[in-house]
Structure formats: C-alpha cells, structure tokens
Structure 1
Amino acid sequence: MALQFHSVPVTPFQQNCTLLWCDDSLRAAVVDPGGDIERILAAVEERGLKLEKILLTHGHLDHVGGTAPLARQLDIPVEGPNKEDQFWIEQITTQAQMFGFPPVETFTPDRWLEDGDTVTVGDETLEVVHCPGHTPGHVIFFHRPSNLALVGDVLFNGSIGRTDFPKSDHQALIDSITKKLWPLGDAVRFVPGHGPMSTFGQERQTNPFVADKRFG
C-alpha cells in the first residue's frame, strides 16, 4: 500500500496524532500535532521519514497545541482546518490556561481548507471533507485508494464528538456523519481523534448515536 500511517498518542488527552507517509518517497505529513513534539519527531526519525507539512482537522488545543513550534523548527507549512475554526486557534492560549496545559503559541495556517479540496502527502492525494458539528470548521482527510479516513473528533469507535462547545451543533454533527462519512463506504477504516480505530460499517451497525437503526 502506497500510503502508510502510524498514530502517536499525545497530551494528557491521549489524542491520536497520526503520521502519514508515502511509501515511495518517505515524505510525510503529521496530522493534529497536539503536543509532545519530541515524541512525534522520534517516531518520524525512527521510520526515516521527511516531514513536509502539518495537517489539522480542527482547532482544539489537544489537536493543534504543538503546531507552531513544530512548523517553525522544521520550516514546514500548515494546512487546515476550515477557516470557521479560526476563532479556536486564536484562543489557543486561553484554551491552554483553561485545561492546565503549558503555555502554547497561536499561529495562522498557511492554507485554510474547503470541502472538496485535496492535500498531498508525498505522491499520494487525500480528499478534504468539511464535517462541521464538533467545531464549525472541522475537516476530515480521506485517502480513497486505501479506504482510510482521519476523522478527528467527528466520530469515534462507539461514540461521536462532543457538541457542548461554543459554535458546536449536534444536528450538524449527525448530518456530517450520516450524509458525508457514510457515503464514502462501509469498508472505510478510520483513525479517530481518540481511542481505537473502527470502520464506518461497524459504526453504522453498533454506534448508539448514529447506527442506521436510529434513523431507519
């Protein structure tokens, strides 16, 4: 398979920071570097990868907290999330204080992402799907050739993202999952923002929040 991945749990929230890399070139992207950048860089070095960009699903602290120092240290661009999450990134210092995290720096992504955009990792291309609800600017990354999605905090194994934050929207989240994720196919494996992987088909059968029987 041409696209490989490896998740590194970071921060006290055990957020799944994921390395994506192209087998042919060993060029890589890191998705949601929430913190613990030494651990992320160790995983990059261990695999002999060249990190060329940072991809972000949304603006919450545990997903973006390590972005500014990592981008500066490696001089790499930041792509994502959708601009609707700009307010979260601008408030990152306040988020850190609220959750008892060490001080973190704010930043401005080099590229805001829209529904239907694509991003590249080495020679591989991933589709961008805007999936609001957990946050208004949340995006997911889908690699169609390998049926792999990185869904951030939209969907989990057995659960869904929280919608008790400013500008969260529970119905929008349900719509994002059922109208944007499910059509990608039951066979799609996904890496959630926290916890173990699953497939869309498994969640359609058993997830108490979005299983098909709830809407049948």
Structure 2
Amino acid sequence: MQQPFVITSYNKKKRLLTVQLKEDLNIDRLKTMYSDDLRAVFGVLMLPDPRRFSEAQRLLYWALLGDIHRWSGTSTRQLNDYFREEYAIHYFSEISIADTSDASVTEVNNLIEMVLDFMFEWNVPFPRSYEILPKHEQFYHYQCCKHRKCVICGQSGADIHHLQAVGNRKRSQVDHRKFPLTSLCRKHHNEAHNMGVTQFVNKYQIHPVYLNGADLVRIGVMNMSKIKKFNENGEQ
C-alpha cells in the first residue's frame, strides 16, 4: 500500500516526522489489513532521490568495468549485463546508465558499489579507475578496511589504523567496534603517526568508518570470544 505525501516538519530529538498526505488515506482498508487495530500499523518510509545520475558516475562505472575486463578477459558488455542483472536481483528493479535513462544518483551509486564490492572481494586491480574512485564516500573507506586495502594508494595487506587513541591498553583489550578506523599501507601508516591525525586526515580527506563484529573477525582484528566477552560486560 503506497501513500504519497510531503514532509511538513521533523523533530530530531523525538524522531517525530509530520507529513501532509496528498490524497485521502483508505482507513477501511487499513482496518481490514490490521484487524481493526490501527496501533499495529507498521510502515517503511521510502524517499526517492530526485537527482538524475551524473556523467562522472557513468565514466567511473565504465572505468571500473574496463579494469575488470583487463583482469578477467570478460568483455565490458558482458560485465555490464552481469552487474545489471545482479542489481535487478538485489533491488528488484532494472537499471540503465544510457543517455535516455532516468536512473537517480542513489541508484547508480548502488550499482557502482556492487561493482566495487566485487573488485575488492576478488582483489581486482583498478589502475585505470583508481584516480576517479569516490574516495570521499564512506563506502569506499569501508570496503578498504573490510578488505585491508590502503585508502590512499590501494595497496593490499594494509594495516587497520585507529584515528582515535586507544590509550595504553593492549589491542586485545580494546573493543574495536567502538573506534573509528581506516586502512593504511605501512608507508602511509608511518606518515599518519609522524604527521599527526588532524593534519593527515585533512591532507588525504580520510573518512573513518566503524566496522561491525563480523567484519572485524573476518579481517583478523577481533575474534568471536572477545566480542562475546565485551557484549557480556556491556550488559552488566
């Protein structure tokens, strides 16, 4: 059941959103659906992105496919068909970045994220597209941490770097889920220590991310027993 509306106000403290419906709400249908108990009505707010995708997004998408082609030998046309099909399966919607397409910025970002996720997962080198990667976007920094690639130069086997001091505690005593992280190769890791956090972050436009327990276990920063112990201590 869809209901068009416009937002009239929002109370951030109370997380209270007030809307003006653009057409009458079919209360009788709602009562039928929820057995006359309107307090049980649950909905999900969908806010479509009105912005059409940009030429920069299109160039990045094809540059990424070009790098996968050079790595795998698969044609960019086949790769385009593959990722568009994966997008349709994941988002239940078709997408195109042709001139006649009206896909939004958000939709094409989601498509690009799927391609990047594939490249990070399979360790695909991206020498041609690296310079135009959206390094300012948190997704890129998250993927670099998740796959231990340097956010600055793309080198594999990077260190997970804390941008907030953890004090004198041993790493095994730190709940890394609570600290902002980035991923740096040894060269840039040393530069961060020598330069200082603020200057380093400003120089390279670092956007730290928080990793969940599963990701931290996957890259060997934490283990499940430590996470369980931290969770138990937090509940006390």
Name the TM-score, length of structure 2 as normaliser: 0.24
Which one has more relative contact order, counting CA pairs under 8 Å at least 6 apart?
Answer: 1
Return the structure number with greater helix share: 2
Return the structure number with greater strand share: 1
Task: Give the number of the structure whose alpha-carbon radius of gyration is greater.
Answer: 2
